[in-house]
Structure 1
Amino acid sequence: MNVTELTGTYTYRSFLELPDPVNDFNELRFAQAELRLSAEADGTVSGMLILGDVSGTPPIVMDMTGTASVSSRVSFTLSGRGRPPIEDFHYEYDGIVLRHWETGIDQRMVLAGTVLRAERHGDAPAGQTASFLAVRRDGF
């Protein structure tokens, strides 16, 4: 696999890192969004994380920039910075492409990793972490 294969649109989901079982899976929810990435052969990655899905309202967007490399797996780091009205949002992402099983059925490319709230915004303190999965959508 090469880094350009990261290019695509993904359904992004992040989860609070709660160690105890929960009764409602929504208790783990940190965010859900659309992640669009474009990766170049030199390892440069750019894109957008589009938050929310409210018809008739402008999207809430974070611009994503970073790098990707290949060793035994494709790994990447991204920095997300919000556009108005969330210009005070700054998050850092570290992830890998999960294994593709040769005998897997209907398996999709999945990105997995951790996210860090790098700067405080509103009442949300810097330092909050979460785990994320991003599942590649059809057509990419």
Structure 2
Amino acid sequence: MDTADLAGTYTYRSFFEVPEPVDDFNLLRFAQLELRLSVEPGGAISGILVFSEDGDGLLGMDITGKATSGSGVHFTLTGRGQPHTPISDFHYEYEGIVLPHWAEGRNQRQTLAGTVLRAEDHGSGDDLAPAGQTAGFLAVKRDA
């Protein structure tokens, strides 16, 4: 697989790292968003993690990063909230891989998997989200 194959739009889902079984899968939910990626020759990545989109435009984190290929595709991403928005203080770091495809698989979608780290505090007071929170993520590629 080539790093350029990362380009596209994904449904991004991240999950709290809860080791015990849960009765309600929503208890694991950290985020569900839209991830849009572009990849330049050489593996430079840019894009946006979309929190919402309406008539006023997008609310999201700008994504930058790098992809490399070898025995598989590995990528690192940095997400920063767009300036002058309610999430301008967001800063997250991502590390992941493209999951392998099964030759005999049916209806398999390209899926990214990895971990995310809240790299800096955001919010304040009772709404403070402290740095250091981690989660696992999956991002499933949508049709073009």
TM bin (shorter chain): over 0.9
Q: Secondary structure at the match of 2:122?
A: coil
1:96 matches 2:101:
no
Report the Cα distance in structure 1 between the residues aligned to 2:21 and 2:52, rounded to whole angstroms. 27
Instruction: State the shift of 1:40 in Å.
Output: 1.4
Q: Secondary structure at the match of 1:59?
A: strand
Aligned length: 138
1:134 matches 2:142:
no
Report the Cα distance in structure 1 between the residues aligned to 2:64 and 2:56, rounded to whole angstroms. 25
Q: Secondary structure at the match of 2:5?
A: helix
Answer yes or no: is the 8 Å Cα contact 2:52–2:60 preserved in 1: no
Report the Cα distance in structure 1 between the residues aligned to 2:15 and 2:52, rounded to whole angstroms. 16
Instruction: State the shift of 1:52 in Å.
Output: 3.8
Answer yes or no: is the 8 Å Cα contact 2:67–2:73 preserved in 1: yes
Report the Cα distance in structure 2 between the residues aligned to 1:65 and 1:134, rounded to whole angstroms. 16
Report the Cα distance in structure 2 between the residues aligned to 1:76 and 1:118, rounded to whole angstroms. 17
Q: CA RMSD in A?
A: 1.2
Amino acid corresponding to residue 43 of structure 2 in structure 1: G
Q: Secondary structure at the match of 1:26?
A: helix
Instruction: Indicate the residue corresponding to 2:50 in structure 1.
Output: 50
- Gaps spanning 5+ residues in structure 2: where? none
Q: Identity across aligned pairs (percent)?
A: 63
TM-score, with structure 2 as normaliser: 0.92
Report the Cα distance in structure 2 between the residues aligned to 1:79 and 1:106, rounded to whole angstroms. 30
**Runs of 4+ more than 3 Å apart:** 55-59
Instruction: Indicate the residue corresponding to 1:59 in structure 2.
Output: 58
Alignment of 1:1-140 (within 5 A): 1-52=1-52, 58-83=57-82, 84-122=85-123, 123-139=128-144
Report the Cα distance in structure 1 between the residues aligned to 2:38 and 2:86, rounded to whole angstroms. 24
